[in-house]
């Protein structure tokens, strides 16, 4: 059987969700998937980015990461989104990218994509769960098969126990507060496993 093709689609201004995306890539590869990590296009004006040293540094550090396109979604059997929360919702960059997939949706090319999501915020209750659920609402319209981690492995409790998708708090120092690497890898492996089952017709 051919390997699952997984797209890890992320948006990150200062690097947290990029790091989550890279852990997801590692976990999925350990599960035998073919993985493409792509970033959604940036919408913020250059002046906003330039005024924030951490944002500017991250944009420069990830300049060679390819941008997400409709072709990537069409290629993928499964998708993991890693997105920050903005007022309890997905960042506008991510929302625009999703909104631009009407052509794929209209031709049935989003149906049965296996999808999972992760999120981050600056506070422990800063909207991570609402952000993931909001993204999943769009995925229902796509006809996607949503794969949350639930409580399918003990590592999820150590990461905070979010059943909707791995979530993390970014501290004032810019670093992650919770240790979520194992949870991210488990979520990626679970997504690949379910995608394998869908492909196999199970």
pLDDT digits (tens, 9 = 90+) for 92-151: 999 999 999 999 999 999 999 999 999 999 988 899 999 999 999 999 999 999 999 999
pLDDT digits (tens, 9 = 90+) for 8-37: 999 999 999 999 999 999 999 999 999 999
Domains of the chain, with CATH numbers? 5-200 (3.40.50.360)
Name the pLDDT band for 190 (thresholds 50, 70, 90): very high
Would the pTM of this model clear 0.75, i.e. be above it? yes
| DSSP secondary structure letters along the chain | -PPPEEEEEE--SSSHHHHHHHHHHHHHHHTT-EEEEEEPPP-S-HHHHHT-HHHHHHHHHTTTSPBP-HHHHHH-SEEEEEEEEETTEE-HHHHHHHHTTHHHHHTTTTTT-EEEEEEEESSTTSSHHHHHHHHHHHHHHHT-EE---TT-STHHHHTT--SSS-EEEBPTTSSBSS--HHHHHHHHHHHHHHHHHHHHT-
């Amino acid at each position: 059987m051919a390997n699952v093709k997984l797209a890890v689609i992320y948006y990150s201004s200062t690097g947290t969700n990029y790091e989550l995306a890279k852990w997801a890539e590692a976990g999925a590869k350990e599960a035998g998937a073919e993985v493409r990590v792509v970033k959604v296009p940036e919408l913020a004006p250059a002046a906003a980015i330039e005024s924030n040293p951490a944002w500017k540094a991250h944009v420069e550090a990830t300049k060679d990461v390819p941008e997400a396109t409709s072709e990537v979604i069409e290629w993928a059997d499964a998708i993991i989104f890693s997105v920050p929360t903005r007022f309890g919702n997905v960042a506008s960059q991510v929302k625009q990218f999703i909104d631009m997939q009407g052509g794929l949706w209209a031709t049935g090319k989003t149906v049965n994509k296996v999808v999972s999501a992760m999120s981050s915020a600056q506070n422990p209750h800063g909207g991570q769960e609402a952000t993931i659920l909001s993204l999943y609402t769009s995925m229902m319209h796509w006809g996607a098969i949503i794969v949350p981690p639930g409580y399918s492995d003990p590592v999820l409790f150590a990461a905070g126990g979010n059943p909707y998708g791995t979530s993390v708090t970014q501290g004032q120092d810019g670093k992650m507060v919770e240790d979520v690497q194992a949870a991210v890898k488990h979520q990626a492996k679970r997504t690949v496993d379910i995608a394998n089952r869908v492909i196999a017709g199970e």
